[in-house]
Amino acid sequence: MDENPQGARVSRASGEAVRFDALTRRFGDRVAVNGLTLTVNEGEFFGFLGPNGAGKSTTIKMATGLLRPTSGSIRVFGLDPFTRPMDVKGRIGLVPEELALYERLTGFEALTFAGRLYGLDETTAKQRAMDLLAWLGLEEDGGKLIVDYSTGMKKKAALGCAVIHRPRLLFLDEPFSGIDPLALKGIKEVLQQMVREGVTVFFSSHVMELVERLCTRVAILHRGEVHAVGTLAEMRANLGLAGDATLEDVFVTAVGEPIGGEEAAWLTE
């Protein structure tokens, strides 16, 4: 541990947060994830990109113990999420692609309940629930049922539930869709602060600008395989792109030509 000038704790990136070795998942004949080998170190803000159907959510579901791999292995802080599920779940948080919230609870109750599930005592769970509602801009909606929340409010509640136990590793599967710019700014700042404190964020998103701004390293998945990995500068160099190429340029080069050329020309005739 180091001390920064503000006196906050700063832990050095010291080890592996997640490691996939030859990870494969089939659904019938379809191979959703195909021999994925990838390591994410502690303290990285890691971007996980790929076109629709590339296998991102399937990978995240396996890493968080929700879906069994067909073959290959996963280690989360050195632990297998299927043989040590409780140890792994206590260290990680997840905002899944499809939210699974208890819609008949209020926001405050849902957050408190999530905290209690993670083993927090009632006082701490309630205090953190209040703090998180304020952080997320939901303080006036804490007494409202989740079922009556807007899309963005549900995303915010899910994010609160995912961090209430202070996870060391946060899986975010397209977490910001529907979240307004004002709230997004505050949420991004806190996530970056968490990363500076040594938390690892595994971030899947289609918003290239956001990934480019937030992530220290990125993997681009296509048809279940890694097509590019590294910092933006490393990926540009590996793909032979110019020094001013954007992440979008890297993405398009890594996965192939953009769709939507001539096929539907009648739309614009």
Residues lying near ligand ATP in the complex (CB under 6 A) are found at 27, 30, 32, 50, 52-58, 97
Residue 134 or 207: the one with the smaller Cβ distance to ligand ATP is 207
By beta carbon distance, the residue nearest Mg ion is 57
| Contact partner at residue 55 from Mg ion, ligand ATP, none, CB < 5 to 8 Å by partner kind | ligand ATP
Q: Is 238 exposed, middle or buried (CB count within 10 Å of its CB: 0-12, 13-18, 19+)?
A: middle
| Contact partner at residue 27 from Mg ion, ligand ATP, none, CB < 5 to 8 Å by partner kind | ligand ATP
DSSP 117-169: HTT--HHHHHHHHHHHHHHTT-GGGTTSBGGGS-HHHHHHHHHHHHHTT--SE
142 neighbors 133 (Cβ within 8 angstroms)? yes
Touching Mg ion, residues 83-122 (CB under 5 A):
97
In whole angstroms, the minimum distance from the beta carbon of 209 to ligand ATP comes to 17
In whole angstroms, the minimum distance from the beta carbon of 58 to ligand ATP comes to 3
CA–CA dist 26, 32 (Å, integer):
6
| Contact partner at residue 53 from Mg ion, ligand ATP, none, CB < 5 to 8 Å by partner kind | ligand ATP
Helical packing angle, 107-117 and 122-135, nearest 10°: 130
- Binding of Mg ion by 21 (CB under 5 A): no
100 neighbors 90 (Cβ within 8 angstroms)? no
In whole angstroms, the minimum distance from the beta carbon of 60 to ligand ATP comes to 8
Per-residue x/- track, 240-269, Mg ion (CB under 5 A): ------------------------------
The binder of Mg ion chosen from 24, 57, 59, 253 (CB under 5 A)? 57
Cα of first residue to Cα of last residue in the chain, in angstroms, is: 63
- Which residues have CB under 8 Å from 126's CB, separation 6+? 108, 112, 115
Contact residues toward Mg ion (CB under 5 A) are: 56-57, 97
